[in-house]
A and B are shown apart, each in its own frame.
Chain A
Amino acid sequence: SQQGEEDPQALSIQEGENATMNCSYKTSINNLQWYRQNSGRGLVHLILIRSNEREKHSGRLRVTLDTSKKSSSLLITASRAADTASYFCATVTGFQKLVFGTGTRLLVSP
């Protein structure tokens, strides 16, 4: 069963624009992680936010977490064509287990 669901399923923007992806989950979490997957490749870890944190930044990435709404968002500022990829949230609810959402496909056009 999927814990996290990303929204939208697909997003198409122009270079320079900001991209926002949302993740909703069902049960209480330990932490929430965002990963990027380029086509045909493995996943790359982007950022981890713990349940007692509300916001984290990493370069052009900003992640927020609202545990009362059971939701998180990933903002990519000043998008580049190289940001084209699928983005997944993953939640940690139990011991040693990550549960992934279904992903958002981002297309950034030059």
Chain B
Amino acid sequence: NAGVTQTPKFQVLKTGQSMTLQCAQDMNHEYMSWYRQDPGMGLRLIHYSVGAGITDQGEVPNGYNVSRSTTEDFPLRLLSAAPSQTSVYFCASSSSGGTETQYFGPGTRLLVL
């Protein structure tokens, strides 16, 4: 199993550009989530999904959209990138919801100029 995969590994955007961060898992996990990690801030939950077709907001959802059309994939969209969105983004999945062990991807480092 590849586990949780994320693409791209690194991306540079200009302010106002849009992009999609990809996340996929091959463990048949129902629960998937997106976090951002900033220096000194730990990880903060952006959006999460408890299954295909169901998404909900986390702690810092503004500026981000998500959808969940399949169990495997959970893309994160930035519609109009801002410098404040410069961060490292992690996708995670779990078989037992957000309250149990999370399996993390390797992360996407995003720089918005």
Contact = CB atoms under 8 A, between A and B. Distances in A.
A42 B42 CA distance: 12
B100 A48 contact: yes
Given A33-B101, A48-B100, A92-B99, A100 B106 contact: no
B74 interface: no
B36 to A, nearest CB: 11
A68 interface: no
A42 B106 contact: yes
A99 B104 contact: no
A30 interface: yes
Interface residues of B, number: 27
Interface residues of A, number: 26
B98 A97 contact: yes
Contacts of B43: 43, 88, 90, 100
A42 B58 contact: no
B11 to A, nearest CB: 15
A56 B110 CA distance: 37
Looking at chain A's contact residues, is the secondary structure mostly helix, strand, loop, or mixed? strand
A54 B34 CA distance: 30
Nearest to B106: A42
A42 B90 contact: yes
A1 B42 CA distance: 10
Interface stretch (B44-52, B65-73, B79-87): B44-52
A96 interface: yes
B107 A98 contact: no
Interface of B: 4, 31, 35, 40-45, 48, 50, 56, 58-59, 90, 92, 97-107
Interface of A: 1-2, 4, 30-31, 33, 35, 40-45, 48, 88, 90, 92, 95-103
